[in-house]
Amino acid sequence: MWRIFAIDIHHRWPPIQRLTFHMFYEQPILFKDNEEIEEILHTNEHKRTMFLAWIEANKIYPEGKKLTYSEYPSHFVWMAEQREWKPRKRGVSIGRLTYIPPGSGELYYLRLC
C-alpha cells in the first residue's frame, strides 16, 4: 500500500547526525589482524575522532562554546574527509548521542553531561 500511494518512507527530515564519544585516550582504533603494532600506532597517532574534533572546534569558533555536543550539528557540519567541524552555511541537522548502558561507569556519566 505504501508503494501504491508512493508514500516516501526512506527520506527523513531533518537528517540526524549520530554523535560518537569516548573517554580521553580511549578512542576506538580499527586495524587488520596482520598489521604490526608500530604501524597501527603510527597511522592512528594523530587521528581525530568526532568528539576530539568537537573539543578542538570549540577553541576555534567562539559561537560553538555556547552549544552542547548534541546541539553542535544544528550549527556545524562534520567534514569526514578532513575530520573536523565547520560552520554550517545552510540546512539543519539534529545531533543524537549513541546509547551507553548505565553499567558502563564513567562513560555513561560523561554522556549525561
User: pLDDT tens-digit profile of 11-65?
Assistant: 667 788 888 888 887 877 778 888 888 888 777 777 788 888 998 999 999 998 8
User: pLDDT tens-digit profile of 58-104?
Assistant: 999 999 889 998 899 999 999 988 989 999 998 888 888 888 889 88
Global pTM value:
0.72
The 8 Å CB, 24+ separation contacts for 87-95 are 87/61, 87/63, 91/14, 92/14, 93/14, 93/15, 93/16, 93/17, 94/14, 94/15, 94/16, 94/17, 95/16, 95/17, 95/19, 95/69, 95/70, 95/71
How much is the pLDDT for 78? 92
More confident residue, 100 or 112: 100
So where are the chain's domains? 45-113
